[in-house]
Amino acid sequence: MKPIFRQANDKYFVEQLTRRNMETYYKKLGISWDKKAFDKNWCEFESYEIVINDCPVGVLRLSHDDAAYYIRDLQIEPSWQRQGVGVQAIDHTFELAQQARVQLLRLRVFCENPAVNLYKRRGFRICKTEGGAHYMEREV
């Protein structure tokens, strides 16, 4: 099943999915949800709904500069996790970076997040670890 990536317009869906998926990590690290930062980033990031059978199942949020594409947020509904949706989102980002002729993909992920293994399988390597998060990158 191949998802469709379309511009996200439902800010509420994106925020609620992100908050729900990240809640455990935030609590463990003593981080509070920052609504103002989310609102600011909503305007700055490219946000895509990940849609299967006309139903949103996740969100992919990106930014980029001349050096890299950044996966700022990749959230998948729990019932759709471990079904290849995350892989397809990473591959979609890779294609966007290729089209933009950018040489690197970068991201930050909490060390305890099982998605670390997904990123490693997709060719990302850990560049540094700081504040409970891995900073990872891969060449395009």
22-75 confidence digits (pLDDT tens): 999 999 999 999 999 999 999 999 999 999 999 999 999 999 998 999 999 999
**CA–CA dist 81, 96 (Å, integer):** 23
The H or E element spanning position 95 is helix 85-99
The pLDDT, as a whole number, for residue 1 is 83
What's the CATH code, domain 4-139?
Answer: 3.40.630.30
**CA–CA dist 28, 133 (Å, integer):** 12
Q: What digits encode the pLDDT tens for the residues 86-130?
A: 999 999 999 999 999 999 999 999 999 999 999 999 999 999 999
Write the DSSP assignment of 10-71 as a string of letters: -HHHHHHHHHHHHHHHHHHHTPPP-HHHHHHHHHHSEEEEEEETTEEEEEEEEEE-SSEEEE
Structural domain spans, the chain: 4-139
Q: What digits encode the pLDDT tens for the residues 7-19?
A: 999 999 999 999 9
